[in-house]
Every structure is written in C-alpha cells, then in structure tokens.
Amino acid sequence: MSQTILEMAKELVLAQVQAQQIAPEAMKDVLHSTYETLRGLEAAEAGGGPGVGNGAPAGLEAQAPVDWKGSISKNTIRCLECGESFKQLSLRHLSTHGLDPRSYREKYNIPRSQALSARSVTARRRELAQQIRPWELAPSKTQAEPAKAAAKPAASNGAAKPAATKPVARSRVKKAAAKA
C-alpha cells in the first residue's frame, strides 16, 4: 500500500464532508470508525480471515438509510440501485437488480402508496382517471342486488325470467359482441 490507513481514512472522511453527507461536527467520530474499519479490513486481508471473500467485513452489510424522496423529481425517477433515471421504474428494470416493486419499496422504505414513477407521469394518470371515471362505468353492487332479488321470485313461480337489465356502460368490445 502506498498510503497509510490513517491517510486513507482521512481522505474518505474529507470527501464525505465535502459532499455534505456528514456534518463537520461528526467528522471526528466518523474518522475513528473509518480508521477502525480500514484497520479491520487490513487485518482480515493479511490473515485471510472473514471478509476476504466478499471484500467487506460482516458488519458493513447494513447500509445507511437512503432518502428516496430525493430520487423522485418532476420528470424522472432515479433508480436507487444503479442511479439511472427513468419516467417509471418498471418490473423489467428492477428485475435486472434481482428485485420486484414490493422488495424495492421494502429495501428503501418507500410507502406502498408512492408510485414508482415521475411526478408528471403520476399526475397525468390521475388526470386520465378523473376524466374516464372507471368507478362509474362498472356496475355497482347496489345495482346488481335488486336485479337478482327481482329475478328470484319470478323464477320460483315458474314464470318467464324478466329481461336482463342493461349495465350502466359497455365497452366497445361488448357493444360489438351485442350487435353481432
């Protein structure tokens, strides 16, 4: 090694302070912990102990919490795994990291109600849903129950069944099938 462990620890901590990842007041504590970690890595490397195979000691597996809110902007969402920017984090992209949307949310503590897409995409979807109003197109439970109740007594008398009530709205496919 051309640098001493203390010099490497100093450079690492100074880089974190300059990147504003840690407060200057906490520099002393971070410097001590970084120095101890580097010393442990050097000892493990020299002795062939734990940590040589994967390049990190067992205690370094847990990562510091990541601010997921900063990764979502107006026009893009940044993948917290690789740093790439997208309009939406798709299952296809997340699977390249061995994740699905649920595990990605769990890993970075993202609530289920937060869409994995840019704010503009989410707003456009909300706008379209308000225009289409799909909850009004589907027959509601209250409309279906009276129709069933009216059909039961007529069927028990042996009389002909009343004509089926029309649903509130039909899709184009259903309309074409009904005309045929």
In a shared domain, residues 49 and 67: no
Task: Please determine, for residue 90, whether its predicted confidence score (pLDDT) is greater than 80.
Answer: yes
In a shared domain, residues 70 and 126: yes
CB 104 within 8 A of CB 89: yes
**pLDDT given at position 130:** 93
Residue 23 lies in a domain: yes
pLDDT in tens, 35-77: 788 788 778 777 765 544 444 444 444 555 678 999 999 999 9
Distance of CA 2 to the CA centre of its chain: 42
Residue 151 lies in a domain: no
CB 71 within 8 A of CB 78: yes
Q: Give the domain range for residue 115.
A: 63-142+168-180
In a shared domain, residues 96 and 179: yes
pTM over the 0.95 mark: no
Phi/psi of residue 78, each to 5°?
Answer: -100, 130
